[in-house]
Every structure is written in C-alpha cells, then in structure tokens.
Amino acid sequence: MTNDLFDTPDWRLLRYFSIIAEEASMRRAAERLFMTQPPLSRHMKRLEEMLGVTLFTRHSKGLTLTSQGQAVLRIVRPVLQAQDAAGKSLLALGQRTAKAGAAIAIGLSTAFEQGVFAGFVQHMQAQWHGPVQFVRHSSPQLARAVRQGRLDAALVALPLDAPGLRASPLPYAEPLLAALPESWAAAWAEANKKQNRQRMRLQDMNGRGLFWFRREANPAFFDHMRGLFAHVGFTPEYIEEPEEYDVLLARIAQTEGMGLLPRSFSAIGRQGVVFQPLEEDSLMQMCLGLILPASPEARHTRRENARSDDTPDQLQELLTAAAGHLGG
C-alpha cells in the first residue's frame, strides 16, 4: 500500500467510493455525481491501487462491497460525515451574512449522455441568481419528483406520461444509433459491401437480440418505440436491459445482443462495440422536453426561501434560453 493518498489527500476519491457504496451501482453513483461512468470507474481503479485492496465485486445487478471495501467504508464514513457537517455550518454562516437568492433543483434525464447538458448547466449556473442543484435520474423518476415538489423542473426524454405537469418540447433531439457487437457490424458491412451502404436498416437485424427496458419503466416511450419498430418492420428478440450502462456495453461486446442508444453515447466508446448509423434516423429520434409543475404557484410553496420576485415564468424563460446550449 502506497502513501500517495495521504501524502496528497484526495478525499474526493473516498467520497466517490462512499457514494458508489451507498448506491450499489456505478451508473446511479455517476448520475448522482453528475459524471459519466468511465471516469468514475478509473477513479475507483486508482483508489484501489493506492490502497492496495479490492473494494467492489461486480455482478449483473450492480456492485457489492468486498470485506476490504467494508473496512475502508467504516474508516472513511465518519470523516466524510464530519466534512458534510462542517460544510453545512459554513453555508449557514454565509446565508446569515449575505442575501441569498432562491435555490432551485433541476432534473436531467439519464436517457442522454452526461456531456449533452454541460452547456445548459453552465448557463443556468451563470444566469440564475441563487444556488442551482442538478439531479440525474430516469425521465419517469424526474416526473414524479417534479410532481411531488422535490424538483422545480426537469429535462426529460419525450414522449412521457406526465399527468399534473406542464410538458413542452425543446429544440434538441438525437438520432438513435445501433450499438452492435463488433462481429455483427463486420458481418453486416461484408454483406452490404457491393451496395456500398453506409447506414443500416433495422430490418437487417431482425431476429437478433435487442436489449430493451420493461414497459412499466416508461409506458409512453415504450409504446412509442414499439410503434416505430412495427412501422419499419423491425422484429428483434427482446432481452431485458441491464441497469448499468457499462454492463450493457460489456454484454453487447460479448455478442449477447444489440442496443439502441442516442448518438451522444457513442463518444464514450467501448472495445468490441460499434455504433452504426441507421437509415431510419429521421424516425428514430430521442427528443428532449421540459416539464414544470402544472400550477404556477407550486414552485413558490415548494421552498421556504423562494423570493417574491422569483416567478415561475422567469424560471421557465431561463430554462428555455439555457436549452439553446444543449449539446455544447
């Protein structure tokens, strides 16, 4: 075991470790930390190298702590809790001595790769007059959080069942790409070499396994996509989609099936997986929308520190303007 961690303290890595342990999922931890999975995985590999231990056991359902990981968590958790308590005390001190703007919480859908929201986040942080918290979850989870008053607004994938909320489309969409095992992509390219086809038809993969989510997870989007599949004659064999994005790509690389993912995910890449453009890309689009409480007064009653000059219309206008920075 080296002394690097404590010679140059990087409690950030230990906080990442603690959050992964809480979530038992690299994907959920990455969403909570507002980062993508690959760099978070690299951080954990570095921490394991520093400590000289194996922290997690990976399996199809997520992650579990090893006995060594449990021991590390017992050591660092009290320190992290003390840091959190100190941070809250300092924040409270600052709020007593400065006029703080209203805090808002905005949800960002995990249907899109993290980097899509970078410009949006920067614009909101620069233009809003108070603290802004960003939360990453699935679109249905975000809709529930807005409805329950735990979020002020959310950017979600459409279509989405959102009763009791105001939903409006945003000028941002991405085509879906076929995420194929490398051998499938090579076989398709060879079979279509004479036609010099650059884009695949979904029909070309009929009968192949497709990793897909259960209908109860998002009925509106499920029905929308299944209708499009029927329209273009796509008849795959459905396989339940794993929760972890890196597990999904690993299983695709092992030729267990294919996936359909927004174009932004192709920037991450994975050895053994090829992202193939589709001929049906004008139909196969992932569209982004904005959801807000149906009642304009709902946001005022949600937070005790909402300011009198902080109107729902102003928030919606700012969110819509910030949407112009999506993908940038």
**Shared domain check, 277 and 171:** yes
Residue 136 makes CB contacts below 8 A (sequence gap 6+) with 30, 31, 32, 34, 107, 108, 109, 110, 114
Residue-level pLDDT at 307: 41
Strands (E), 224-300: 237-240, 259-262, 273-276, 285-293
**Shared domain check, 262 and 232:** yes
Measured at the CA of 210, the angle between CA 231 and CA 206, to 5 degrees, comes to 50
Residue-level pLDDT at 9: 43
Q: Each residue of 78-104: b (16+ CB within 10 Å) or e?
A: eebeeeeeeeeeeeeeeeeeeeebbeb
Residue at a domain's end among 76, 95, 114: 95
- DSSP assignment letter at 297: T
Residue at a domain's end among 36, 68, 95: 95
**Shared domain check, 195 and 135:** yes
The length of the chain is 328
Structural domains of the chain, count: 2
**Shared domain check, 129 and 85:** no
Integer Cα distance of 35 and 42 in angstroms: 12
Q: In the chain, helix, strand, coil percent, each to 5?
A: 50, 20, 30
CATH code assigned at 147 = 3.40.190.290
**Shared domain check, 109 and 10:** no
Residue-level pLDDT at 68: 93
**Shared domain check, 208 and 263:** yes
Q: Which residue type occupies 136?
A: R
**Shared domain check, 128 and 46:** no
**Shared domain check, 294 and 258:** yes
How confident is the prediction along the chain (328 residues), in pLDDT tens digits per residue? 444 444 444 677 888 899 999 988 888 888 777 677 777 888 888 888 888 899 998 877 778 999 999 999 998 888 888 877 776 665 555 444 444 557 899 999 989 988 899 899 999 988 888 899 999 988 999 999 999 999 999 999 999 998 889 999 998 999 999 999 999 999 999 998 888 888 999 999 999 999 999 999 899 999 999 999 999 999 999 999 987 788 899 999 999 999 999 998 888 778 999 999 999 989 999 999 999 998 655 554 455 444 434 556 788 889 988 988 898 6
Cis peptide before 159 (omega within 30 of 0): yes
Residue-level pLDDT at 87: 65
**Shared domain check, 114 and 216:** yes
**Shared domain check, 86 and 33:** yes
**Shared domain check, 202 and 83:** no
Residue-level pLDDT at 108: 94
Which region holds residue 160: left if phi is over 0, alpha if psi is between -120 and 50, else beta?
beta
Residue at a domain's end among 48, 75, 95: 95
Strands (E), the chain: 56-59, 62-65, 104-109, 132-137, 153-158, 165-181, 209-212, 237-240, 259-262, 273-276, 285-293
**Which residues span the domain enclosing 82?**
4-95
Q: Which residue type occupies 142?
A: L
CATH code assigned at 61 = 1.10.10.10
**Shared domain check, 108 and 207:** yes
Residue-level pLDDT at 11: 74
